[in-house]
Structure 1
Amino acid sequence: MKAAGSALLFLLSLFLQSWNANFRDLRKYTLKGYAQGTDYTIAYYAEGAVVDQRQVDSLLAVIDSSMSLYKPYSLINKINAGPKGSYAIDAHFRRVLGKSFEIVKDSQGIFDVTVAPLVQLWGFGTAPVDRFPDSAAVRQALRCVGMEKIRLKGNYLEKLDACVQLDFNGIAQGYTVDVLANMLEDCGIRHYVVELGGELRVRGPKPDGSPMRIGMERPATEWGDSPLVQDVMSITEGAITTAGNYRRYLQDGDHRVSHHIDPKTGYPFDTEIISATLYANDALTADGYDNVFMAMKAAEAVTFANARKDMEVFVVYRDRSGVVRDTMSTGFRDLLISK
């Protein structure tokens, strides 16, 4: 799953501290823990504690056993290590893989969950590397990359090449947030926030009737400076995720290498975008697409989002002169209360 530093964090205190616990006899319950290499926070309002820590951790363990590259016993690791052929998959795996096929088509191949060999080659996988790969190593890894090398047939994944390896780190965290949110909703909870590694899904409004307020963290203008909270979003329902290249990268002299790898070339993307924040109905969609926007130019990202009804984007980028600027899709501006 994503490491904690791979996404820009949203600050929750703006609304976690402001809900009125006495409104309509609803009480606030907060659960905190550690999962998928990062922290999580679940805050909800209800008349009683209908969801507890044990339920949450149990559900997270099930998802890890399906899709975590950091669990040797996980289904994804068994598939990655296995020969070509057909593999039975669980419901979590199937939903994430199904969405991945949708996004790879919509993004014209930018998003690709078979990039695991390239991710490892560049040092962003489960094992460290002591140097960047040469062109021959990249070409060799590219032989195993491409979603045309796998098929989804009902509850089965078919590997068409033994060397194919999957990596759901760019989408599974958002899916996990949705699963946790759905668990709350199944228990009748209608006011909540679920946050995992900076990926958010909320439902409101707050019990007092006001919308959720979420502080949005921006990258600093200079490398090494602390990020700043300059914008506040006001929403009543939806998901927010962020991809960025200033928290997770490798350094080679003066050259920074992004952890976003181009599945077509085998090399890290080198674009003007520093971060992309997505708003969508669900976190699975937002988390999958925020990586797609990192491969675009800022103007392309805005055009892409404006052409789709189910997402909005806010991007921070460097222009040709190196000045940090931002731009956003038409609907995203309506979500901001500090602009």
Structure 2
Amino acid sequence: MLGACDQPPSLTTLSGPAQGTTWNVTFWKPGGVAVDAVKQDIVDELARIDSLMSNYRPDSAIERFNRADVETSLVVGEEVVDLIAKAKTVSEASLGCYDLTIKPIFDLWGFSGQQLSVPSKVELRNRLDKVGMDHVAPGSNGTLSKSRSDLQVDLSSIAQGYTVEKMAGVLESAGIEHYLVELGGELKTRGHKPGGEPWRVAIERPTPGERSVHKVITIRRDAPASVMTSGTYRHYFDDQGRRYSHVLDARTGRPVSHDTVSVTVLDQDPSLADAWSTALLCLGADNGRAVADRHGIAAFFIEEVDGKLNEATTSQWREMSGIDID
């Protein structure tokens, strides 16, 4: 019989609000850790990221950039510049379907909290003139400029993944090597549970009006793994018998109309996984799988056809080692 000193360490769980959703971290460390200090460091890091990337804070770096004049070189910080550079690579790979400057179109449809409505073709055409990542120019020393004064950048499709990475960094700075970090359903794991059991995370069943588990991913490797999922089934509205998703194709300004309802991406880099899950959802399974295979992206697609859920995966997903899905 094991004595008290032989018992494996217990899991510690911390949580709180952030970015309009909630965050949760579960971790353990041999010998223990100063839990209150870890939580405060996470809260401080979340506040710092908010001050850089929040579109809901007029004083954030990205919102100051959104209000800046044409050709004004504004300091936003290297982190923001680097994230935009990553997003540009994904945007180009998606043939422009994914674009951080979609915010004016997003607002036009009412998905930013305005009245939800279907815009006219003229309204869409006028707003589309304001969209395009080629209008954003990175400079030196953490600066950005733009070639249109009405250009708006929304980092939300990549910032949550980045935030997950920074939260994990807080844990690692405290010497924690075994953890699961989650923010709004976006996840990163490292290591395993105290008894050697693997971390297990769920893919939600993409059905409006209910919350249930569709698949469970078991991560049997200790190396870092990020799991990011995007879906069309949570934010939408119906008009005259037609459903409009909040996932917009930046090339047309219209919600996607394919049958893909969920995309999960696994990658070591949470920021890239976050951006790619959105980009592949924009493209849909038929086009997205080919793009993902060209770029070595491990992706799991769910389509809804005639009320039935169908699954598809990329070659990189099928070749993953140490990760099971059932």
Same fold? TM cut 0.5: yes
Aligned residue in 2 for 1:37: 20
Deviations 1:271-323 (A, max 9, x none): 110111111112101110111111224233333333333x311111134x553
Q: Is 2:45 aligned against 1:59? A: yes
Provide the C-alpha distance between the structure 1 equivalents of 2:241 and 2:6, rounded to a whole number of angstroms.
55
Per-residue deviation at 1:22? Answer: 7.5
TM-score (norm 2): 0.89
Identical pairs, percent? 32
Aligned residue in 2 for 1:277: 264
Provide the C-alpha distance between the structure 2 equivalents of 1:289 and 1:49, rounded to a whole number of angstroms.
35
Aligned residue in 1 for 2:117: 131
Give the direction of change, closer, same or farther, for the CA distance of 1:294–1:173 in structure 2 (3 Å limit): same
Aligned residue in 1 for 2:92: 105
Contact 1:117 1:145 in 2 (8 A): yes
Contact 2:65 2:76 in 1 (8 A): no
Give the root-mean-square deviation of aligned CA atoms: 2.0
Deviations 1:76-109 (A, max 9, x none): 1111122112111113312211211221122221
Structural mapping, 1:119-198, within 5 Å: 119-125=106-112, 127-129=113-115, 131-154=117-140, 155-198=142-185
Amino acid at match of 1:158: S
Amino acid at match of 1:45: W
Provide the C-alpha distance between the structure 2 equivalents of 1:66 and 1:110, rounded to a whole number of angstroms.
25
Structural mapping, 1:252-271, within 5 Å: 252-271=239-258
Q: Is 2:62 aligned against 1:76? A: yes
Provide the C-alpha distance between the structure 2 equivalents of 1:213 and 1:174, rounded to a whole number of angstroms.
19
Amino acid at match of 2:52: S
TM-score (norm 1): 0.86
Contact 2:227 2:267 in 1 (8 A): yes
Runs of 4+ in structure 1 off by over 4 angstroms are 21-25
Deviations 1:247-269 (A, max 9, x none): 11122132111111111111111
Return 5+ residue gaps in structure 1 as ranges: 1-20
Aligned residues: 312
Provide the C-alpha distance between the structure 2 equivalents of 1:233 and 1:289, rounded to a whole number of angstroms.
19
Which has the bigger relative contact order, CA under 8 A and spacing at least 6?
1
Amino acid at match of 1:48: G
Deviations 1:127-169 (A, max 9, x none): 4125322111111111111011111123110111101011111
Contact 1:121 1:133 in 2 (8 A): yes
Amino acid at match of 2:314: S
Contact 2:177 2:191 in 1 (8 A): yes
